[in-house]
A and B are shown apart, each in its own frame.
Chain A
C-alpha cells in the first residue's frame, strides 16, 4: 500500500464498559467505520474512514461512542498549518481539485455577531407579543410606487404578483439530486405547513411534489434542467439562478452516477449522463439579456408569478443588484459567501465572494439611494443561523431570508461537509435508497416546522422588545442595530452606529 502521508483527522472513542455490541453503529455507518470483530468478540473501528457525521454517536443506545479531533500533530507552524500541509499531500496524491461541501468554514469575521439589537426603555414602550398584535407576515414582490385611482375614485389594482410569507423565512434552493427525495418532501411539506416557500434548486421538480406548487419556488439555472411550461406554472414564483454564494462564478456538476431513473426524469436528461450547469447562462451577457429571460418567464406564466434573480454576493454586488432591479425582476436574492453547497471546489468556496451582511447593507443602501428599493424585494441568504441573524438581516434591509444549512441541520445534518461523497448517513445528501430511507419526512417536517416556529416566537419577542410590531417597521431600520468590534469602514458599509453612539 502506497504511503499517502494522510493521518485520520478524527478518533472514534468507544467506551468498552458501555458498548453492548448491538452493532447499530456498524449497520448505520455508510463509511464502514465500525465492525464487529468475531475473534475479539467486540466492536472495532477504522477511524480513517470516519467523516465525523455523528450518526453512530446519535444512535448508540448506551452512549458508548464519541468522535474527537485527533491530537496527532505536525510540528507547530502558524503558517504551514496541519490543514495546509494535508491539503498539499492530498493534491500531490491525486492531482485533483479539492472538493468540499456546505458553507465556507474558514475563520472570517461573522458580522452578525458584531451587531447588537436595541430594546425599548422608558421613553417608548416595548410590546408583549403574547398580549398584543405582532405581525411577522410579509409580502415579497414589486410594490407600487404610488396609489392610482380611476375616475370614480376607486383603487386601480396595480399590484404586481406577490409571495405571501407568514414568517420572513424561506427554504433556499437545494436541488433534487444534491439532496434526497425525502429531504425534498420534508422541505415541501414543511413549507406548506408553515405558509412559506421552499425552492427546487436547479434540479427540476419531481412529479410527486407538484401538489406543493403553491409553496414552491422553481429555479431556472444555467443548465435549464427540468424547465418546462408546467414546471413554471405550477410554482408560486420563478427564480433565475445567476450565482450561488458557495461557488460564485462557476457552475455545477452532478455526476452521471447519481442520475438515476427518477432524477433523469425530473431533470429531463438521459439516465447516467453528467448534469453540467455551465458557469454562465449562455444567453445572458448583460442586464438587457437578463431582462429578456425575466420577461420570457413572465410571458410564459401570464405575468402571474413574481420572478426572483439570485446572485452570489461578490465585490460589486450593489451595482449588480441595481441592474437586476431594473431588469424587471420582482425579487433579488443575494447569497453570501457562507452559503452552502452539495459540492464545490474547496478553494472557491473558501476564498470567493463576500459576507452577506456587507452585501445586503450595500445593496439596500444602493437601491434606496437610487429610489428603486420599492421595485424589488431583497432576500438575504448565506448562513442565517438563528432568529437573531434573521432579525439583523431584516434590520439591514432584507425583506426575508433564505435558510438552507439551518434547515438541513433541522433534518439531522451534522455538517460533516462530505455531501460530495453521496454517502450521507442522515439520508439528506444522498441518492442511495438505503440511506435516503433514513430520513422519514414525517419526522423531518415536524422538525422544520418546530425550528421555524421557534424562530418566529423569538423574532416576535425581540421585535416586541424594540417596540416594533411589524416586519415593515423593522426592515432597513438600522437604527435598531449597533456595531461592536467593527472599524469605521465596516460601520459605514453596514450603515450602523457603534455601540454607545
Chain B
C-alpha cells in the first residue's frame, strides 16, 4: 500500500501515526514545501521571545521519527497537480508519485489583502512559518531600534507582538475590527487582554485600516499615519485547497470532509485546509488549530490504513498567553452566560450553556484544569447529569457522580 501525504505539519504527523498504528509496512511519502522537519507552527512567536530555540522547535518529533516510521520525506518539494483517476501526484520537479491513498494536509497560507503601495514597503513579512520568523528576527536585529507595524489583531498578530515587543523600539497593531481577537474573544475579555498589552507598551489602532503605504509610512483610513521600520501582515490565512479541488474534492474555502476525514475516493484531508463540524454550535467551518489538525490527521491515517475511526468532537479552542496573562477559550458563545470576574486579580471566567450542555468558555488568569470544561463541551455531557454549581465554581471532578468519578480515576482511560 502506498500512502502519500501532501503537507508536513501536525496533520501530516497525525496521519503518519494513524497509518502506522494499523499498517507497519505500507510506504508513506510526505511532500513538504518547507525544507525542515515538522515543527509546531504556533511556536514561532515563542521562538522570537526566546522561550524555545530552533533546535528544540524542530524536534516536534524526534530526529529519527521519519526513519522510524518508514516515511520518505520529500522536503523542499511542492505538489503541483493531483490526478485522482490515475492515482498520481506530480511534483514541482516533474516527479510523479503514484498512490493508493492520498491525504491533503496542505494547511493554509497567509492572506495578504491588496493594499495600495504595499510594494513600496521595505522590510515586510507574514508571520506563519519558521522562515517568516527568521526573516523577522533578522530584520529586527538586536538593537531594539525598529518600529514595528503589525496589521491584524488576531491571535497570530498578537502572539507576534508578544514575541517581539522586547526587541522593538515601538510596536503598533492595526485592525479593521473595533477590538482585538475578534474571532476568538468576546469584546470584554478582549479589552482586558488589550489593556494588558497596552500596559506593556503595545499600541493599538482599532476600527481602522491601511489606506495606503508610502514607503514605510502608513496612512490609515482615519487619516492617522504611522511611521515604521518593519511591517508584519497577519490579517488572516487562506486554506490551501487548490490541489484538492483539482482532484475533484468538494471545496468551499476549506475542503469538505466527512467524519472519517474522507474527501473523495481514496482521498482524505486533514488540518487547516479542511472544514470541520464544530459541535459547540453545529456550524461547519475552518478550525485552524493544532490539536484539531493532529486529531483529523490521525483519523484520516487510521481510515486510510483500513481502520474505521470517526472524529466527531471538533471544537474550536485556543490556549495562549499575553505577557503572563493566561488565556484559554473553547466553543461558542451563544447561550446562557455565567460570568465571574475579579477586577482585582484580573481574572475572568465565562461559561456559556445551551440546551443542557456547556458550549463554550473563556478563562483569563486562572486557567488551571480548564480541560475539564473542554471535555464537557467535547463529550456534550448533559449538565443535568453533573453538579453544575460545582462546575461553575471551578473545573473539578467533584461535579461528576461518584460512579463517573470511579470510572475516571479507577479505570484505564482511552
Direct contact, A vs B (beta carbon within 8 Å): no
Which residues of A approach B to under 8 Å, CB–CB?
Answer: none
